[in-house]
Amino acid sequence: MKRQAAAVLAALSLFVAPVDAGAERTPFDSLEAGLDYTGVTGENELDPWWEPGVGLDLWAQTPFYAGDFKLGARYLDNQGKQPTSPDFNSLFLYLGWSYPLPVTEWVTIHPGAALGGNIISFDTEESAGIRYETEIAAELSARLGIRTYGSWRINVATGWQTMFTYQPVDSWYFSAGLSCGFGMLGWLRGFLE
C-alpha cells in the first residue's frame, strides 16, 4: 500500500508541467491560509479497536526557495469499538514542504511531504490506562487547488501517513476545504527572513 501511495504521488509530479516555469517566486512574499474538513479512510492497524473519525486541518503556507513551506495542525476524533478501547482525539502538529505545479491558470497540484508529532489524548478515567501519548508521524500528500474568486481556492487533498508507534500505523486521509492567499505582513516577513 505504501508503494502504491508513493507511485500515485510520483505520477502526479511527472505528468504535470508548470504553465510558467520562468515565473519568479520570492520567499515569504505571500501567505496562504486554509481550513479543511478531513477524515481517515480505509483499513489500518487500529481498525479492530477504533473507528476513524473526522476533523479539521488548519494550515498556512508561504513560498520558500524551492517550493512552499507549510505549517499546520490536524485534529481528528476517534471512537472506540470495544469496551476496553476508550475514545481518543489526535492533534497532528506538522511542518511540511510542497512544490506547486500549475496545470492551468486556475488549477495547481501540490505534491508534498510533512513531518510532525501526533499528540493523542485518550478519554479514560482508569488509573492504569495511558491518558496521553505522542508519536512521530510522516506523510506524503497531494493537494489540488482550484482558484475560484480573487485569491480564494477550493482544495481537495489526499495523503498517506505513517505514525511511528511500536508497530507503525499507516493511514490514508482525504480532505476538502477553502484557502485564501494574501500579501505577507512586513513585520512577519522580516521575522521569517
| Three-state secondary structure call for residue 17 | coil
User: For the chain, which residues make up each domain, given as ranges?
Assistant: 2-17+51-192
Q: How far apart are CA 74 and CA 4, in angstroms?
A: 24
In degrees and rounded to multiples of 5, residue 93 shows phi and psi of: -95, 125
Element (H, E) at 188: helix 186-192
Dihedral (CA of 53, 4, 164, 67) sign: negative
Instruction: Work out the number of other CB atoms within 10 angstroms of the CB of residue 158.
Output: 17
Please report, in tens digits, the pLDDT of each residue of the chain (193 residues total): 455 444 444 443 433 333 333 346 688 788 899 999 998 876 666 655 567 778 999 999 999 888 999 999 999 887 766 776 777 788 999 999 999 999 999 999 999 999 999 988 877 766 455 778 889 999 999 999 999 988 899 999 999 998 898 888 888 899 999 999 988 767 767 776 6
Q: Which of 102, 106, 109 is nearest to 23 (CA)?
A: 102
Distance CA 115, CA 41 (A): 20
What's domain 2-17+51-192's architecture?
Beta Barrel (2.40)
pTM of the model: 0.78
Residue count of the chain: 193
